[in-house]
């Protein structure tokens, strides 16, 4: 406590030695922490004269890992994304996510309606690419897009999980037919770039949601609420069915949204690639893949190596190979059929030279 008799004016919170907030309340929340990390929190009492308490105890804790059971990890892109409705090369390093939950009506088969999407972010915006298979595209209900074939995107930017919409919650609707955008809560559409492309078997869309439009800021570790749903109208009139990613019912409450964690591409798996006299090359094909992928190694000289598989959190899932390889090409089959769709890393280390090389592999189901 403060050393004099002046009353308590408030509390200052420090995270890992850095001041993060001040409050007069007896409780406070520190959000957007990186997952699977250790932290120390200290609280200093402050009186009206500005004096702060000394010898304050610290509380240590560790955040839990963010897994597929918690939601989706959204990786930051270092390459600008051009919104043109096409799956440009920058999207190759991102895994498709499926929206498979039937929220209302019926879906006959994958040709009737199937939905997959990719998410990315940078300092400017959140980016969304969707690929929707739909054998009958209908729009005959004017601005009531939800009655026809349309895409719905939901954001809860502070992940409050509220039962009502506040200033950080948004509900967007997009038509497959043109660039019309509807935001049902605040008409927050200025600055959003949306390009749909009609295809023979459905349509594809690409969207950039500026952080400013979403009343938020880009931050590594930021956790937001998110959901994606698609309506299906096969014969005109009202919709016949609906698929969604996270929610289990046709309800737009933020409390039902899934979660998306903003994250940088891991730097703890930095590759050290060079081509000296004793070089090594590491490749994977096909990539992206479904279940099984072939890992190809090429060495210019015999060496003892270790080949490991890591998940997005940098955890070693298994050692694919450890031992001596002869000069030339070697191949290993990697079976990830029991793993979740997403981004993985394969790292090769040469025990003789200390060289390492890491590649990204993307599994889709």
Q: What is the pLDDT of residue 6?
A: 54
Q: What is the pLDDT of residue 2?
A: 42
- Phi, psi (deg, nearest 5) at residue 90: -60, -30
194-198, 207-211, 348-352: range with lowest mean pLDDT: 348-352
pLDDT digits (tens, 9 = 90+) for 321-359: 988 999 889 999 999 998 888 889 999 988 767 778 888
Q: What is the pLDDT of residue 78?
A: 87
Angle CA(271)–CA(276)–CA(282) in degrees, nearest 5? 45
At residue 33 the predicted structure's pLDDT band, cuts being 50, 70 and 90, is: confident
Q: Which residues of 248-287 are buried (b: 16+ CB within 10 A; e: fewer)?
A: eebebbbebbbbbbbbeebeebeeeeeeeeebbebebeeb
Report the distance separating Cα 180 and Cα 207, nearest Å.
12
pLDDT digits (tens, 9 = 90+) for 243-289: 999 999 998 899 999 999 999 876 545 444 444 455 678 899 999 89
Please provide the distance, in angstroms rounded to a whole number, between the alpha carbons at the two ends of the chain.
57
Pairing, β 181-183 against β 101-105? unpaired
Dihedral angle sign, alpha carbons of residues 300, 306, 309, 310:
negative
Burial category of 154 from C-beta neighbours within 10 Å (exposed 0-12, middle 13-18, buried 19 and up):
buried
Mean pLDDT of 41-51: 90
Return all residues near 43 (Cβ < 8 A) that are at least 6 apart. 11, 12, 13, 14, 56
At residue 212 the predicted structure's pLDDT band, cuts being 50, 70 and 90, is: very high
Coil, helix or strand for 69? coil
* Domains, in order of start, for the chain: 8-62 (2.60.40.10), 72-263 (2.60.40.1190), 280-363 (2.60.40.1930)
Q: How many CB atoms lie within 10 A of CB 235?
A: 9
Is the pTM here over 0.95, yes or no? no
Mean pLDDT of 140-163: 93
SS (H, E, C) 156-203: ECCCCCCCCCCCCEEEEEEECCCCCEEECCCCCCCCCEEEEEEECCEE
Highest mean pLDDT among 71-75, 175-179, 205-209, 275-279: 205-209
């Amino acid at each position: 406590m403060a050393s004099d008799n002046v009353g308590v004016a408030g509390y200052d919170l420090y995270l890992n030695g850095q001041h993060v907030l001040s409050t007069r309340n007896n409780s406070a929340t520190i959000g957007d922490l990186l997952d699977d990390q250790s932290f120390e929190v200290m609280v200093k009492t402050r009186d009206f004269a500005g004096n702060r308490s000394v010898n304050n105890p610290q509380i240590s804790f560790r955040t839990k890992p963010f897994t597929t059971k918690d939601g989706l990890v959204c990786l930051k892109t270092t390459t600008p994304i051009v919104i043109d409705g096409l799956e440009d090369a920058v999207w190759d390093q991102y895994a498709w996510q499926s929206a498979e939950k039937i929220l209302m009506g019926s879906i006959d088969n994958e040709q009737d309606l199937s939905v997959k999407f990719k998410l990315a972010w940078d300092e400017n915006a959140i980016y969304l690419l969707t690929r929707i298979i739909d054998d009958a595209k209908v729009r005959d209900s004017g601005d009531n897009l939800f009655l026809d074939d349309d895409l719905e995107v939901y954001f809860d930017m502070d992940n409050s999980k509220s039962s009502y919409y506040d200033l950080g919650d948004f509900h967007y609707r997009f038509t497959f037919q043109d660039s019309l955008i509807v935001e049902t809560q605040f008409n927050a559409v200025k600055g959003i770039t949306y390009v749909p492309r009609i295809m023979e078997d459905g349509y594809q869309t690409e969207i950039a949601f500026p952080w400013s439009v979403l009343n938020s800021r880009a931050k590594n570790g930021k956790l937001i609420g998110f959901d994606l749903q698609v309506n299906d109208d096969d014969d005109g009139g009202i919709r016949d069915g609906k698929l969604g990613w996270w929610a289990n019912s046709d309800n737009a409450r933020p409390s039902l949204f899934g979660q998306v964690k903003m994250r940088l591409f891991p730097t703890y798996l930095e590759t050290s690639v060079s081509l000296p006299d004793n070089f090594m090359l590491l490749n994977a094909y096909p990539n992206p893949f479904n279940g099984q992928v072939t890992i190809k190694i090429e060495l210019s000289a015999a060496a003892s190596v270790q080949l490991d598989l890591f998940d997005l959190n940098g955890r070693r899932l298994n050692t694919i190979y450890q031992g001596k390889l002869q000069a030339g090409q070697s191949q290993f089959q990697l079976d990830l059929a029991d793993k979740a769709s997403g981004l993985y890393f394969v790292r090769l280390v040469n025990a003789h030279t200390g060289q390492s090389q890491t590649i990204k592999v993307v599994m889709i189901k």
